[in-house]
Amino acid sequence: MTYRIDPQFIAEQNTRAHQQLQSDYEALAGVLSRRGCDIETLTRQAQAFAVALPSWGVGTGGTRFARFPGHGEPRNVFDKIDDCGTIHQLTRVTPGVSLHFPWDRTTDARALREAATRLGLHFDAVNSNTFQDAAGQAHSYKFGSLTALDPEVRAQAVAHNIDCIELGHALGSKGLTVWIGDGANFPGQSNLRGALERYLESMRAIYAALPSDWLVFIEHKLFEPAFYATTIADWGTSFACATELGPKAKCLVDLGHHAPNTNIEMIVARLAQFGKLGGFHFNDSKYGDDDLDSGSINPFQLFLVFNELRDAAGRDGQAFSPAYMLDQSHNVTDPIESLMISAVEVQRAYVQAALVDTQALSHHQMNNDALMAAQTLKQAFRTDVSAILAMARYRCGGAIDPVALYRASAYRDHKREERPAVRGSSSSGIV
Ligand code: RM4
Ligand code: MN
Ligand code: MN
């Protein structure tokens, strides 16, 4: 028997916090109604919002210098699913889990799917991994995978991606995210155009293996591990490749994969305009692909991204449904706590964006009133919507204060008993 937080315990903890929440909620309702916003509509929107968890995020991450493991870490994909279930149980905003193969490889897809279903979870896009060598594989990816010069290496990388599709299909997933580390560390090392031609040839084979209701997400990244020229470095390359491949290919934006100060919200607007925005990997960063907790460094950027998403949803309606996922590495915090806070921060940005007075905004834009247009966005961003988020959780059976409840439950101590450390467990991945 694995330890799970008792719903009765959640109810008891919530009883203590409920009165305070109710009065905060009523105060906020008053503020919002003076602005013509109905708090109940916003709370329902918050309840319907979801962001998927990265299976690799529930283990302690590491840098390329070291990893400092925590206690009671998940030892395999079933443990990871358990932790994801706990995050969803308390936050009610993370019903999806994004798996990473071969890290999460299982020989019993049915058991894994059943375990997830029992916890109210489903599987979001699956991720392939050709940026490191798996034990026992025939060919090395040292000099590239989907773009490698050696056709046998490319064939192996393509086969791995097709394998991910098959496994994902058995798990009820509907998408494959492809991020490759391919590129060059030296000028001249690789023919830049030739590498992209080989990439497209490989991706065409992967695309051909997609089930009819699947999408493939192309994830770009400026640098690392290639430090001179990354093959899929930017959204332009990603967009060109997705266009070449066809309608089932879309672009995935990882917030950490751009040069500092890049206007990511504009990338969002561009990809949405041309129907190629497939999804997100949310995280935050100060310098590069830091994989810090969402909203911890630049919450205003996160809000501005959601402001563009709100605009796209307003224009395109149901047709616009990008996949939202977290992609983070937790090195100095309890990953469960970081993921709970991060999921709520993403949800917060979504609700804040829903608060934007769009009529006032377009009025100010029409009048070239830059100052008031900016203030209109700031008003939404500055609004503390915490009570809406807490009420949304409470009404769905989650925790009013997820981190306080998690700590009070001593979940990690229970897991420490249940999960004695295993050397070389999959949680010792690079993230
Ligand atoms: C990459 C990228 C991918 C993630 C790997 C672990 O930088 O963000 O999405 O799967 O890291
Ligand atoms: Mn990513
Ligand atoms: Mn990354």
**Tens-digit pLDDT profile for residues 222-232:** 999 999 999 99
**How many whole angstroms from 134 Cα to the centroid of ligand 3?**
19
**H-assigned helices in 317-410:** 335-354, 358-366, 370-382, 386-395, 402-409
- For ligand 1, is residue 431 a contact (CB within 6 Å)? yes
- What's the confidence (pLDDT) of residue 204? 99
- Of the given ranges (1-5, 41-45, 227-231, 422-426), which has the lowest mean pLDDT? 422-426
Q: How confident is the model at residue 431 (pLDDT cuts 50, 70, 90)?
A: low
Model confidence pLDDT, tens digit, residues 60-100: 999 989 999 999 999 999 999 999 999 999 999 999 999 99
138 within 8 A of 156, measured Cβ to Cβ:
yes
- For ligand 1, is residue 281 a contact (CB within 6 Å)? yes
pLDDT of residue 19 exceeding 60, the answer is yes
- What's the confidence (pLDDT) of residue 119? 98
**How many whole angstroms from 327 Cα to the centroid of ligand 2?**
5
- For ligand 1, is residue 327 a contact (CB within 6 Å)? yes
pTM over 0.85: yes
Mean pLDDT of the chain: 97
In this structure, which residue's CA is closest to atom 9 in ligand 1?
179
In this structure, which residue's CA is closest to atom 11 in ligand 1?
431
Rounded percentage of the chain residues whose pLDDT exceeds 90: 96
Q: How confident is the model at residue 251 (pLDDT cuts 50, 70, 90)?
A: very high
pLDDT of residue 47 exceeding 70, the answer is yes
Give the CA-trace dihedral at 17, 20, 23, 25, to 10 degrees.
-50
pLDDT of residue 429 exceeding 60, the answer is no
Task: For tokens 């050709």, name the residue.
Answer: 130
**How many whole angstroms from 219 Cα to the centroid of ligand 2?**
7
Mean pLDDT of 211-239: 98
The C-alpha atoms of residue 262 and residue 223 are separated, in whole angstroms, by: 14
Model confidence pLDDT, tens digit, residues 354-406: 999 999 999 999 999 999 999 999 999 999 999 999 999 999 999 999 999 99
In this structure, which residue's CA is closest to atom 2 in ligand 1?
179
**How many whole angstroms from 256 Cα to the centroid of ligand 1?**
10
Rounded percentage of the chain residues whose pLDDT exceeds 70: 98
Mean pLDDT of 162-187: 98
- What's the confidence (pLDDT) of residue 424? 55
Work out the angle at residue 46's Cα, subtended by the Cα atoms of residues 45 and 52, and round it to the nearest 5 degrees: 115
- Of the given ranges (164-168, 305-309, 427-431), which has the lowest mean pLDDT? 427-431
Residue 320 DSSP code: -
Instruction: With H, G, I as helix, E, B as strand and everything else as coil, classify residue 250.
Output: strand
Model confidence pLDDT, tens digit, residues 296-313: 999 999 999 999 999 999
- For ligand 1, is residue 291 a contact (CB within 6 Å)? no
**How many whole angstroms from 246 Cα to the centroid of ligand 1?**
23
Model confidence pLDDT, tens digit, residues 131-140: 999 999 999 9
Residue 319 DSSP code: G
pLDDT of residue 426 exceeding 80, the answer is no
- For ligand 1, is residue 179 a contact (CB within 6 Å)? yes
**How many whole angstroms from 404 Cα to the centroid of ligand 1?**
30
299 within 8 A of 345, measured Cβ to Cβ:
yes
pLDDT of residue 110 exceeding 90, the answer is yes
Which ligand 1 atom is at minimum distance from the Cα of 100?
A: 10
**How many whole angstroms from 203 Cα to the centroid of ligand 1?**
18
Instruction: With H, G, I as helix, E, B as strand and everything else as coil, classify residue 358.
Output: helix
**How many whole angstroms from 66 Cα to the centroid of ligand 2?**
20
- For ligand 1, is residue 169 a contact (CB within 6 Å)? no
79 within 8 A of 381, measured Cβ to Cβ:
no
- Paired sense of beta strands 96-98 and 53-54, if any: parallel
- For ligand 1, is residue 254 a contact (CB within 6 Å)? yes
**Amino acid identity, residue 392?**
A
In order, the DSSP letters of 28-83 are: HHHHHHHTT--HHHHHHHHHH---BEEGGGSS----SS-----TT---SHHHHHHH
Which ligand 1 atom is at minimum distance from the Cα of 127?
A: 10
The C-alpha atoms of residue 371 and residue 132 are separated, in whole angstroms, by: 49
- For ligand 1, is residue 127 a contact (CB within 6 Å)? yes
Q: How confident is the model at residue 164 (pLDDT cuts 50, 70, 90)?
A: very high
